[in-house]
Each structure stands twice: as structure tokens, then as C-alpha cells.
Chains A and B, each alone.
Chain A
């Protein structure tokens, strides 16, 4: 009896170790769509910074570790799917006096996360075309693509992140350009 109990205990311990070793701590840069925020929290002026690496460039000076910053903030507007772009986004100011009410609404949105009720189209001010959204949100996840062309040089950057708290988005970025370069990294965005 004692031998059986000892063997069972060792088996349980072994399985627990295996399970725990397979679990990696979640990174705050991984997308999490179940947080109590949605695309409306992504609307505003994005100040983005990040770090990453770039490879595959024909110019060797472009290969290597890189940093990301914006020459001017991204102006992001959020609309419900199917709605037209309603104009410049309101600037998010300081935390309003009805914080608790706002948080309650955000909690309510979280309840319907993933069901399509909290999806938004995201639009960038000054983006070419304007007929198609430049991104979308689903729950607290946001996804924005920035296509830029200056002369013959093209650069595409794809931001995929999550609204971690009001005014803060974290996630990863990736993209191509100029030329044969490709890059990836992690970013932090402050939304004002």
C-alpha cells in the first residue's frame, strides 16, 4: 500500500513538472483580446516607440538591431464596421471624472468580447485612399497597418497589439522595406 502511494505521488509530481515546464509566462506584448477595452480605447493620437531587428537588406548598413519611433504621431479613428469615417478623432484628455462609469462600460464590453459586438474599423489620418480601413480591433486587440511610399521607396509596418489599459497599447510590429529588408520587434504606444 505504501509502495503504491509512493509511486502515484511520483507520477503526479512528474506530470506536474511536465505541465509547468510547457507553460511560459505570458508576455505583455502578446495579443490578449479579452481585456476590458476595445477599439474605442485605441482611438486617438498614437506615440509609438519600439525595438527590433532588420535583416535581408541589400545595403548591409540597414541590417541589425533597430529602434522604432514616429516622426509625427499616428492619428487613429475608430468606427463601427460599416460606418463611414466620421472625421478627426477626438483627442483623449486626462482621466475624466466619471472614471468608474467608463470602467463599467469597459467591463460590459469585455463581456461581449469576441462576439463581434466590440469590433471596430481603425482609420489613419492622412493615409492614402481612405476607402478601406487601415486596421481593425476585436475586443482589446488592435491591428493597424501603415503603408508608406516616398518616391520609389516603400515601407509597410504592421502593428498588432492589445489595449493594456486606458491610453496604453503594447504589441509586436513587423514589416518590409526598404527594398528586400524585413523587420520585426515589439512596440509601446501611448494613446492621447
Chain B
């Protein structure tokens, strides 16, 4: 009987055993041993809290490791040139070193991130991004890492949830001083005001101030003070615009304004009979009126402590209110007002 040859099958198995064993060993080896290694170098600090810069470096390291799937190592040493960075990374396994700078520019922070190949110093990545504060460093780190992964400009990596304030906010305007006002007022009538009865007022409003101009909307209540038989109560809104003639702590002020007043007045009128007449006709009446008046005023004064965030405005108004009291047939009112206003708040 002729037995089949036995040398062919055992030979094929022996020949395949080596590559199979090699593949098995490769599968069992830790994958990290084959992953790329990136070095995280220093970030030059120009005017930013060192702890915040260190935090940003850590955040960037984590983002690079997670997104690129690379191993990250520290590359110590303060470097400001490519040669320095390559030299610092020479003793490590890093094939790419990431470094850059964090610097304050006014109210914003400028973050610059660069990545170079260690072997020849060529650039792999170099971009810059602005943040409105160190609070946005987490967003900057994520955006920079994403830009490295996707090889896109960092501006194109913006998504909902990783936008910085500078990208969200509309174009900024110049800022002025925006605060509030509280004031007291004395009224010296020339006509009207329930037959020229002196009074007082309380007012509150807002104050917007630039270098040379101030705008002041306010609400006010004014009332009589001196005669129990003649009463008035004024309430209304006024808007004033003033020219601030100096930028120092003591600034002369000239202004104009207008508004709308609701006015209630009551006047008790009486007369005795005429001496020498046989028929005597003494009279007595209470006249109460309500009217809407349109005031216009001119203002002159001085603003004290202008460079501080609490100021004092002393001023005099000349005011005339247009309108008519139907019951008494009287038109318009005129007065001088003495004002003292406390202005507070606003940077």
C-alpha cells in the first residue's frame, strides 16, 4: 500500500508558524510603544498670571493627547527659538514639540501656539487666537488642538459651545461713564406755581458721560413748601444734555433740556370788600387745576470730583413750562431751580 507523503503538510505548518507567531506577538505588544510622542515645551509669559499660563499648557497637553492620540511628554527649558526647542527635545522621544506664548494686550489675551518637527525644525502648526480673559483658556486649548487635528485655521473650528466672547460679542463701541443720579432741588417761581409759591423737589435718573458731553434722563417730583392755601404737585420726566467744559476734577457745565410734566395746582383766592363802598362784595374760592406742561430749561453749573466714580453737580436752571390751566385761564410757568445732584457709579 502506498501511503501518502507526510512531509508536505508538516512543512507548510512549520513555514507558517514564524509569521503567525510574529503577528501574535505584535497583537499582544502595548500599542503605546508604537504611538507618536509629542513634546510640550514652554510658553513664554507676557503679563499673564503664571498659574493661568501653566493651566493653559496642561489643558493643551490634554487636548493634544486626546484628539491626536499621541503620547505627550514635557520638554523643559525656556526657549525663544526653534534651535533652542530642538535642542531641548533632543533627549526625549518627541518627534514634534509644541511651544508658544501667552501675552496680555489691553483687555484681551493673545495665545500663540507653534508645533515643529524635531528632526529638521520645520513647522507643523502655527496659529494665534485671542481670548477676552484667562477664563477662556479651556476653549482656546480645545480649538487649537482641533485645528492641529483637522489642519484648518483655528477660526474655522468654531462651534456652538466653544466660542470665545470676542467671537460672540457684537462689534464694540467706545465706553463712557454710565451711572445714576439722585438730587434735591429748590424752586423759586417767577410766574405760575400756584401764584409763585416756593417749593422743593426730589429727582432720580441716569447719567451717561463722555469726555465732553453728558446726557441725563430723570424723573422728578416737585411740591410747594410755603403756603397752606396754595398747593401744587408736579411730576414728570426730563432729559438734559450738558457740555462739560473741563476734564479735570472741577468742570463748569452748560446744558439744555426738555421734558413733560403733569401738574396739579390748587389756589385759594379771597378778597375783602372795598373800603368806602356801601355795597360790600367779599369773595372766596378754591381753584384746582390739572395740566400737562411742556418744559424747556437752560442749565449752568459746576461738576465736582469729575475724575472719581462719585461726583457732585451743583447747578441753576432757568425753566419755562408751556401749557394752559383751563380753569384759571393761566398759561405757562417760569421759575429758577437750584439743583444739587449726587452722581454715582460708572467706570
**Is the CB of A77 closer than 8 A to any CB of chain B?**
no
Q: Which of A80-88, A111-119, A146-154 contacts B (4 or more CB under 8 A)?
A: A146-154
- Whether the Cβ atoms of A153 and B283 lie closer than 8 Å is no
**Is the CB of B284 closer than 8 A to any CB of chain A?**
yes
In the complex with contacts A61-B269, A61-B270, A63-B269, A148-B278 CB distance below 8 A: yes
- Kindly supply a per-residue 1/0 record for chain A positions 140-159, scoring 1 wherever the CB is within 8 Å of any chain B CB and 0 otherwise: 00000010101001010100
A50 to chain B, nearest CB (A): 9
Judged by DSSP, the binding face of A is: strand
- Whether the Cβ atoms of A62 and B283 lie closer than 8 Å is yes
- Whether the Cβ atoms of B274 and A60 lie closer than 8 Å is no
- Whether the Cβ atoms of B287 and A64 lie closer than 8 Å is yes
Give the residues in chain A near B270, CB-CB below 8 Å: 61, 64
A94 to chain B, nearest CB (A): 26
- Whether the Cβ atoms of A157 and B279 lie closer than 8 Å is yes
- Whether the Cβ atoms of B279 and A63 lie closer than 8 Å is no
**Is the CB of A132 closer than 8 A to any CB of chain B?**
no
Of A74, A150, A157, which one neighbours B276 at CB under 8 angstroms? A150
**Is the CB of B281 closer than 8 A to any CB of chain A?**
yes
- Whether the Cβ atoms of B285 and A71 lie closer than 8 Å is no
Per the bound structure, the CA–CA distance linking A95 and B332 in Å amounts to: 61
In the complex with contacts A64-B283, A67-B282, A150-B271 CB distance below 8 A: no
Per the bound structure, the CA–CA distance linking A70 and B328 in Å amounts to: 29
Of A54, A60, A72, which one neighbours B281 at CB under 8 angstroms? A54
**Is the CB of B346 closer than 8 A to any CB of chain A?**
no
In the complex with contacts A61-B270, A62-B271, A63-B285, A68-B279 CB distance below 8 A: yes
Interface size on B (CB < 8 Å)? 19
- Kindly supply a per-residue 1/0 record for chain A positions 97-140, scoring 1 wherever the CB is within 8 Å of any chain B CB and 0 otherwise: 00000000000000000000000000000000000000000000
**Is the CB of A66 closer than 8 A to any CB of chain B?**
yes
- Whether the Cβ atoms of B277 and A64 lie closer than 8 Å is no
- Whether the Cβ atoms of A65 and B273 lie closer than 8 Å is no
Least CB separation from A60: chain B residue: B269
Interface Cβ pair total, 8 Å cutoff = 65
**Is the CB of B280 closer than 8 A to any CB of chain A?**
yes
- Whether the Cβ atoms of A150 and B281 lie closer than 8 Å is no
Interface size on A (CB < 8 Å)? 25
B214 to chain A, nearest CB (A): 41
Give the residues in chain A near B273, CB-CB below 8 Å: 69, 71
- Listed residue (B275, B283, B284) with the most chain A CB atoms within 10 angstroms of its CB: B283
Per the bound structure, the CA–CA distance linking A74 and B269 in Å amounts to: 29
Per the bound structure, the CA–CA distance linking A6 and B284 in Å amounts to: 57
Per the bound structure, the CA–CA distance linking A62 and B271 in Å amounts to: 6
- Whether the Cβ atoms of A150 and B280 lie closer than 8 Å is no
**Is the CB of A37 closer than 8 A to any CB of chain B?**
no
Give the residues in chain B near A61, CB-CB below 8 Å: 269-271, 283
Give the residues in chain A near B279, CB-CB below 8 Å: 48, 68, 70-71, 146, 148, 155, 157
- Whether the Cβ atoms of A150 and B278 lie closer than 8 Å is no
Per the bound structure, the CA–CA distance linking A66 and B274 in Å amounts to: 13
- Listed residue (A59, A69, A71, A72) with the most chain B CB atoms within 10 angstroms of its CB: A71
Least CB separation from A73: chain B residue: B278
- Whether the Cβ atoms of B269 and A148 lie closer than 8 Å is no
Least CB separation from B267: chain A residue: A60
Of B277, B283, B328, B330, which one neighbours A150 at CB under 8 angstroms? B277
B139 to chain A, nearest CB (A): 74
Give the residues in chain B near A146, CB-CB below 8 Å: 278-279
- Whether the Cβ atoms of B283 and A65 lie closer than 8 Å is yes
* CB pairs A–B below 8 angstroms (21 shown): A54-B281, A59-B271, A60-B269, A60-B328, A61-B269, A61-B283, A62-B269, A63-B269, A64-B269, A64-B284, A65-B283, A65-B284, A67-B281, A67-B283, A68-B280, A70-B280, A71-B273, A71-B279, A148-B278, A148-B279, A155-B279
Chain B residues within 8 Å of A, Cβ to Cβ: 269-271, 273-285, 287, 328, 330
Chain A residues within 8 Å of B, Cβ to Cβ: 48, 54, 59-72, 74, 146, 148, 150, 153, 155, 157, 178, 183
Q: Which 3 pairs show the lowest CB-CB distances between chains A and B? A: A64-B285, A66-B283, A150-B276
Known: A74-B278, A150-B277, A183-B281; 13 extra A-B contacts, CB below 8 A, are A59-B271, A60-B269, A61-B270, A62-B269, A62-B271, A62-B283, A64-B269, A64-B287, A65-B283, A66-B283, A72-B278, A148-B277, A148-B278
